[in-house]
Amino acid sequence: MHSLFTDRDDWDDEMESFETGWPGFFDVLRIYLRDFPGQPAAMAFAATGHPGDMVAAWTELASAMGVAGLDVGHRYETPSGVPHLVGTVESVHQTTEFRTVMVRLDAPNPGIALIGGCRPGDQSRLSVGLYLYGDAACDTAAAEAPRWQSWLAQLGRAAQPAG
């Protein structure tokens, strides 16, 4: 649930952050309605904080996941050491405070992956959301969520300053 009320002074930043995330979710819905209507759906989501600015955070995630420099239409497969995804890049969106790469998935299950980063406050957030469709969607989402959470947590820990 979202509320548009706050007692903080950073209202403009909150609204901008809130608004930048919605287009990707509408794209996921559009693809579901066009290509997977009525099929069972499930989601796996993982996120971590990153101490750097959005450029540093995204550079680390994009490099680790092998999405740096990809464009729409490119075939994509995660590199070794990253939970397995295979598909085709659907869209790439980059602003100063928000980055996403959307991949139309063939594996581990038909669906969509949203690989992203944003800066809603003092810390950057990196995330991977899998929107999976078909009879195996629920089982695949249940298996993938802990893999992605573990992998992103390791990435986040590696980015923390020594101390």
- The model's pLDDT over 60-89, given as tens digits with 9 standing for 90+, comes to 999 999 999 999 999 999 999 999 999 999
pLDDT of 162 higher than 80? no
Supply the pTM of this predicted model. 0.83
C-alpha count within 13 angstroms, C-beta hemisphere, residue 22: 6
**Structure confidence by residue, pLDDT tens digits, 2-56:** 454 555 555 454 444 445 556 667 888 899 999 999 999 999 999 998 887 888 8
Please state, in angstroms and rounded to a whole number, the distance separating the CA atoms of residues 64 and 154: 11
- Please state which CATH class domain 11-159 belongs to: alpha beta
Domain ranges, ordered by start, for the chain: 11-159
